[in-house]
């Protein structure tokens, strides 16, 4: 009897471990480096599978950097004049609330053109 319970419990545990995509994931953008000039975010984002409900946490020094969520055209042109949202708290958590593309960059100086920019694709 106890063996049967243990078997069911361990099967359930294996199922949980084997299906992590069921749960929302929090990504720290740039991993240990955070949101900064020193990271290639195109490389960071490659191969990641973002889904609705996942979160992105941007960690940065607000003395040096900020975070703008922008439109695709402003992203492509590094245009900081009309952000959808601006964040400057140094520890910004963004919930990927719907499927589609999300665009971010740092609006300070020439940081965007120096590749401090991130585009993510979120699946349903
Ligand atoms: Cu910056």
Domain annotation covers residue 67: yes
Q: Rounded to the nearest whole angstrom, what is the distance from the C-alpha of residue 23 to the centroid of ligand 1?
A: 31
Residue-level pLDDT at 4: 65
Domain annotation covers residue 19: no
> Helix count (H) and strand count (E) of the chain?
3, 8
Q: Rounded to the nearest whole angstrom, what is the distance from the C-alpha of residue 123 to the centroid of ligand 1?
A: 28
15 pLDDT band, cuts 50/70/90, is: low
- Residues with Cβ within 8 Å of 84's Cβ and at least 6 positions away in sequence, in order, are 68, 69, 70, 71
Domain annotation covers residue 36: yes
Residue-level pLDDT at 88: 98
Q: Rounded to the nearest whole angstrom, what is the distance from the C-alpha of residue 98 to the centroid of ligand 1?
A: 26
**In this predicted structure, which of 1-10, 23-32, 109-118 has the lowest mean pLDDT?**
1-10
Which domain range does residue 53 map to?
A: 24-123
Q: Is the pLDDT of residue 2 over 70?
A: no
Residue-level pLDDT at 84: 98
Domain annotation covers residue 119: yes
Domain annotation covers residue 7: no
Q: Rounded to the nearest whole angstrom, what is the distance from the C-alpha of residue 100 to the centroid of ligand 1?
A: 25
Q: Which residues surround ligand 1, an ion (CB under 5 A)?
A: 65, 106, 108, 111
Please provide the size of the chain in residues.
124
């Amino acid at each position: 009897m106890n063996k049967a319970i243990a078997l069911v419990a361990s099967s359930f545990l294996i199922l949980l471990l084997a299906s992590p995509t069921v749960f929302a994931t929090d990504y720290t953008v740039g991993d240990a480096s955070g949101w900064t000039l020193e990271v290639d975010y195109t490389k960071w984002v490659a191969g990641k599978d973002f889904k609705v409900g996942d979160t992105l946490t941007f960690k940065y020094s607000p003395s040096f950097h900020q975070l703008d969520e922008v439109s695709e055209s402003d992203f492509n042109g590094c245009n900081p004049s009309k952000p959808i949202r601006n964040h400057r708290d140094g520890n910004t958590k963004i919930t990927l609330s719907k499927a589609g593309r999300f665009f971010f960059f740092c609006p300070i100086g020439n940081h965007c053109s120096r590749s401090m920019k991130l585009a993510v694709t979120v699946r349903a």
